[in-house]
Amino acid sequence: MARGRRQVLQRLALYAVSGAAASAATLSHGWAAGQIEEPLSQSVRTALSAAVALADPPQPVLGSAAERQAYAQWLDHCNARLTRWLPQSPERQEFLQTLWYEARRAGLSLSLVLGLIQTESAFRKYAISSAGARGYMQVMPFWTRTIGDGDESKLFHLQTNLRFGCVILRYCLDREKGDLPLALGRYNGSRGQAAYPHAVLQSQRRWQLQVD
């Protein structure tokens, strides 16, 4: 028993973050996302920069009764499942509303984005991977310099993180001509390896709903 306790304490000490960072970040023990910085043409850089520029707070556009019903059904489904990771209702509501808005804006499947977040950060807002990726969607800081304003601290902001993550995933899908496993590998920095895409797609299945 004493030996087991010492091992637990050693592991806790190993992953501790000193000073102010301890209250702001949690080391991610998952897939350690490490998107690879690659040269972008000026046109691509300009398009991605425009895509991540923040607009007004996310408000889902629901033009018909059927769309409103589908959105409500999706919220109910995800709320029940997400309680495990986000126990506070206001936090869950803000997260889901923002995710719906950003995923739809980028033309992405809702369940795919949820599956990726579950795999990458387990829904931890302040997760930091061993490669330095940040937040829910484990976005690498170099993206803020490449297509943002250079302020990497903003990657801990809910909408900014989801905006960057969804735009980058859309970019990866476009680069891979819709090949989802290759796109997921590119997103994670493990292109061509099966383990990461398999994990995301496995997580995605748990979030799928007709409205997806």
Fold designation for 22-54+61-205? Lysozyme (1.10.530)
pLDDT digits (tens, 9 = 90+) for 30-70: 555 667 777 777 888 888 888 888 766 788 888 899 999 99
Q: Quickly list DSSP for 48-94.
A: HHHHHS--SPP-----SHHHHHHHHHHHHHHHHHHTTT--SHHHHHH
Between 159 and 22, the more confident residue is 159
- Per domain, the residue ranges of the chain are 22-54+61-205
H/E segment holding residue 27: strand 26-27
pLDDT digits (tens, 9 = 90+) for 135-147: 999 999 999 988 8
